[in-house]
Amino acid sequence: MIFDIYKGKKVFLTGHTGFKGGWLALWLKSLGAEVLGYSLEPNTNPSMFTELKIDSQVKSVFGNILDREKLNQSMVDFQPDVVFHLAAQPIVRLSYAEPVMTYETNVIGTLNVLESARNCASVKAFVNVTTDKCYENKEIDRGYFEDEPMGGHDMYSSSKGCVEIMSSSYRRSFLTDSYAMATARAGNVIGGGDWAADRLVPDCIRYINENQPIEIRNPVAVRPWQHVLEPLSGYLLLGKVLLEQGQKCAEGFNFGPYDESVLTVAEVAKQVVENYEKGEVVVHKRDDLHEANLLMLNIDKAQKLLGWKPVFTAQEAIKTTVDWYKEFYNGNPNMLEFTFGQIQNYQNRIDYKGVKSETITSTIS
C-alpha cells in the first residue's frame, strides 16, 4: 500500500524505452498511474520496450531531450504531477568514444527536462536519476556518503557528477517556490530485459545463448550489484515523499545494496552461470580504458530519512534476473505477464517500517 499515492497521478517519464525506464513504466502502470513516456526509440535488438510491447501499456512520445521545443510541448500538453527523469547516455565505455554526445545528453538534456518542468505549473515533484559513479572515486573500502565530492575519471561518470552539481544549483536558484526535486544515485543495476553492450549480465546472457565462453575484463572489480526493482522502489518512495512533503527531502539520496551484496565481477558471472546451468567464464585481456576497481554506496540516509531498505540479497537479485532471461529464451509468450509477476512478488516483500508522512516529517525536522 506504500505506493498508493501514484494511483490516478499523471507521471512524465523520460527514458521509458530503456532498461530501467521500461521496468519503471510497467511498475507505475501496475500502480494505476497515467504514464507518458518520452524517449528516443529503443537502441538495442532485442529491447524490453519492443518485446513486451510497453507502448501498449503507457502513452509514448519518441523524442530527444535535447529537442527543447518538443520536450517542453510534450510536458505542457500532458500536465504531469510528477516527473521521473531517467533518460541518459549510461555506458562508461561509450563515453570514451562519444564524449560530446555523453555530455550533451546527460548535462544539457537534464537541464532541458528541469526547465520544461519549471514551465509546467502542474509539476509538484521531480526525481532526477543519476548514478553511483557521480562521486570522485578514490576506491576507498567504504560506501560514499551523499555529501562527498562529485567527480569521475571517465566522461560518463564526470557528466553525472556535473548533473549533481547543476541540480543542486538549479534547486537553489529556481525551485524554492516551485516543484520539489531530488537526485537519486543507484548502484550497478541488473535485471531481465537489459541487452545493452558492455554490461556484465547482458554480456553473460549473450555469450551463453551464443554458446560462447563468457569473457570478463576485470574479474576483481567490486560493484554494488542490485536488482533493478531495488533502486526503482527507492525512486518511487522518494517521489511519494516529495509529493507529500515538498522541499523537505529535496536532496541527493543513495539507493544501494547492503554490504554483503557488494560482489566482484567474477563472482557475479559465476553465479549467472550457476543459475542458468550453462556457460563458462574466462578472463579476457583488458584494454587501456580506465574502469574503477572498487565502488560502494552508503545508504544510511535513505534508511533513516525515507525508511527505505533493500529487499533482495545479491544471490536473489542474480537468480531473479536469470529467471527472466531463461523464460524469454525458452519462448515464454507471456513475458509481459511474467514481468508484472516479478514486480508484484518484489512489492509483496517490501516492508518499509514507519514510512508515513508524520514519521518522515519528525525524522527530518
Instruction: Label residue 361 by pLDDT band (50, 70, 90).
Output: very low
Residue 218 is predicted with a pLDDT of: 83
Across the range 346-358, mean pLDDT stands at: 68
Residue 288 is predicted with a pLDDT of: 55
Across the range 217-227, mean pLDDT stands at: 86
Write the DSSP symbol of residue 296. Answer: -
Least confident of 67-81, 133-147, 211-225, 275-289: 275-289
Residue 220 is predicted with a pLDDT of: 86
Across the range 155-166, mean pLDDT stands at: 97
Alpha-carbon distance of 286 to 208, in angstroms, equals: 21
Residue 360 is predicted with a pLDDT of: 41
Instruction: Label residue 363 by pLDDT band (50, 70, 90).
Output: very low
Across the range 165-193, mean pLDDT stands at: 96
**Positions of E strands within 86-159:** 125-129
Q: Following DSSP, what letter does each residue of 36-56 receive, concatenated? A: EEEEPPP-SSS-HHHHTTGGG
Q: Cell 501496475 identifies what position?
A: 30
Q: What three-state secondary structure class fits 176?
A: coil
Residue 145 is predicted with a pLDDT of: 96
- pTM beyond 0.85: yes
Residue 285 is predicted with a pLDDT of: 56
Residue 365 is predicted with a pLDDT of: 28
Instruction: Label residue 353 by pLDDT band (50, 70, 90).
Output: low
CB 185 within 8 A of CB 302: no
pLDDT tens column, 89-103: 988 889 999 999 999
Sign of CA dihedral 103, 167, 302, 158: positive
Cite the DSSP H helix spans in 86-154.
92-97, 99-103, 109-118
Residue 293 is predicted with a pLDDT of: 64
Is the pLDDT at 357 greater than 70, yes or no? no
Is the pLDDT at 178 greater than 80, yes or no? yes
pLDDT tens column, 294-348: 788 999 999 999 999 999 999 999 999 999 999 999 999 999 999 999 999 999 9
Q: Tell me the pairing of strands 262-264 and 222-227.
A: antiparallel
Alpha-carbon distance of 311 to 309, in angstroms, equals: 7
Across the range 215-243, mean pLDDT stands at: 93
Least confident of 49-58, 165-174, 291-300: 291-300
CB 195 within 8 A of CB 231: no
CB 150 within 8 A of CB 207: no
Across the range 9-24, mean pLDDT stands at: 98
Across the chain, what does the average pLDDT equal? 92
For residue 340, give every residue at least 6 positions away whose Cβ sits within 8 Å of its Cβ, in sequence order, or none. 26, 30
Residue 287 is predicted with a pLDDT of: 55
Is the pLDDT at 27 greater than 60, yes or no? yes
Residue 352 is predicted with a pLDDT of: 74
Is the pLDDT at 115 greater than 60, yes or no? yes
Closest CA to 272 of 192, 187, 332: 192
> Could you count the other beta carbons within 10 Å of the beta carbon of residue 185?
25
Q: Cell 552461470 identifies what position?
A: 273
Distances (CA, A) of 294 to 41, 116, 141, 173: 33, 37, 8, 35
Q: Please name each of the domains of the chain with its CATH number.
A: 8-349 (3.40.50.720)
Residue 259 is predicted with a pLDDT of: 85
